[in-house]
Amino acid sequence: MQNFDAAAFLRDCWQKQPLLIRNPWGCWTNPLEPDELAGLACQAEVESRLVRQVAQGGWTVQHGPFGPESFGDLGATPWTLLVHAVDHHIDEVAALIEPFRFIPDWRIDDVMVSYAVEGGGVGPHFDQYDVFLVQGLGQRRWRIGKRHDSSARLLPHDDLRLLADFEPLEEWVLDPGDILYVPPGYAHDGVAVGDDCMTYSVGFRAPSRGDLVSAWADHLLDTLDEDDRYTDPNLSVGAPPGEISSAALARLQAMVSDALTDRTAFAAWFGRYVTRPKEDGLDWAPEQHVTAADLTRERAPLDLARNPASRFSFVRESTERLVLFVDGEAYVCQGTVARMAERLCAEPRIIAPSNELASQDVAGLIIDLLNRGCLAIIDSD
């Protein structure tokens, strides 16, 4: 993005206050046509919703997949189509994430795309995560309210978390290429101005303390040894029989806290946890298994592209050693392999030179990622 100061944004606005960014792209091109979005909403493996505003301020939500005829008979009622994780299916939409990678990759969730007709929206609400709202096509009027938390009063609805009391404090109309950043908790309400309004929501993950504790504890319960039990070999006579001694309490608490606070084990678990695929039902593996012989036959250097649906992150253990996490799997990498792993995390597409591919360990990593569908070889022809 041109003329955008990421450092100033992180200092002054990130998780602090909303910010309107007027078209920083230079030349903005909408990456997805409305018909393509509707086509995605017809696919069973794609999560989608159709939100309609009905009489007397009511709202209805219909979940996809939708039939091709669904969008031709909606009448004059304002409606919005929302399709989740579009970046997993459309490379041009995945490219929208790249300008926001000054924020760590593990925090990025997905790009949701909405299409709305005149007056369409999803009502005043707040999210518990950061979001950049990129106007792709048409115009949308955004009204921003105050910051809320879980105590905010909501309207009764099974599918939408609509604020019962929304008081706008600021208002902007966004044109194609404009961006509105909204921190967690801030109330916002977007309404399409005219038909053919498309908005790209680049959302970020913010795991709750409860989710982390629950998931980490579940993992520990699956890994703890049944024979690892409380012992007290140094008991002595004389203690009151009904007392739980301070020494016993200290040993018991240590049994719990030592497991929970093992940072090395937590890092190994979290890397897998945070890179698990968002859509478990999709299988990106190639039809034909890739072997070392296949890499040898390929013309080096290899042009490798990351699957836009895959999640890549790493934890550095030393200057020469790191653990690479890809879609819930871990790879311990050292030396040349570690440097290749960093490159794979840094760029959506890389050139792997022949001298690096000559390393059996580097080739092994790439072959495994190719066979899992996390990487693909780009044919130069």
In CATH, what number is assigned to the domain containing residue 301?
A: 3.40.366.30
Whether residue 219 is found in the same domain as residue 83: no
Computed over every residue of the chain, the mean pLDDT equals: 92
Of 186, 195, 193, 132, the residue nearest 163 (C-alpha):
186
pLDDT at 72: 77
Whether residue 252 is found in the same domain as residue 160: no
For residues 368 and 337, the answer to whether their CB atoms sit within 8 Å is: no
Q: Is residue 241 part of a domain?
A: no
Q: Is residue 239 part of a domain?
A: no
Q: Is residue 269 part of a domain?
A: no
Q: Give 62-71 pLDDT, tens digit per residue.
A: 999 999 888 8
Q: Is residue 230 part of a domain?
A: no
Chain centroid, CA 291 distance in Å: 31
Q: Give 59-118 pLDDT, tens digit per residue.
A: 999 999 999 888 877 878 899 999 999 999 999 999 999 999 999 999 999 999 999 999
pLDDT at 161: 92
Does residue 381 register a pLDDT over 60? no
Whether residue 20 is found in the same domain as residue 146: yes
pLDDT at 380: 66
Tokens of 316: 């550095």
Tokens of 166: 């929304």
Whether residue 135 is found in the same domain as residue 199: yes
Q: Is residue 232 part of a domain?
A: no
Whether residue 136 is found in the same domain as residue 177: yes
Whether residue 185 is found in the same domain as residue 214: no
Q: Is residue 213 part of a domain?
A: yes
pLDDT at 361: 94
Low-confidence winner among 49-58, 162-171, 194-203, 250-259 (lowest mean pLDDT): 49-58
Task: For residue 34, say if its preceding peptide bond is cis, omega within 30 degrees of 0.
Answer: no
Whether residue 151 is found in the same domain as residue 300: no
Confidence of residue 239 (pLDDT cuts 50, 70, 90): confident
Q: How many domains does one find in the chain? A: 3
Whether residue 365 is found in the same domain as residue 315: yes
C-alpha torsion 143→148→153→155, nearest 10: 40
pLDDT at 284: 78
Whether residue 301 is found in the same domain as residue 174: no
Low-confidence winner among 75-79, 186-190, 241-245 (lowest mean pLDDT): 75-79
Does residue 10 register a pLDDT over 70? yes
Whether residue 191 is found in the same domain as residue 215: no
Whether residue 24 is found in the same domain as residue 89: yes
Q: Give 260-298 pLDDT, tens digit per residue.
A: 999 999 999 999 999 998 776 667 788 888 888 877 776
Does residue 363 register a pLDDT over 90? yes
pLDDT at 296: 74
Q: Is residue 282 part of a domain?
A: no
Confidence of residue 338 (pLDDT cuts 50, 70, 90): very high
Whether residue 166 is found in the same domain as residue 252: no
Task: Kindly report the CATH number assigned to the domain that includes residue 183.
Answer: 2.60.120.650
Domain ranges, residue 35? 6-204
Q: Count helices and strands (H / E) in the chain.
A: 10, 15
pLDDT at 69: 83
* Amino acid at the residue 334: Q
pLDDT at 54: 83
pLDDT at 234: 86
pLDDT at 280: 66
For residues 201 and 38, the answer to whether their CB atoms sit within 8 Å is: no
Across the range 178-203, mean pLDDT stands at 97
Low-confidence winner among 46-50, 277-281, 374-378 (lowest mean pLDDT): 277-281
Q: Is residue 134 part of a domain?
A: yes
pLDDT at 319: 92
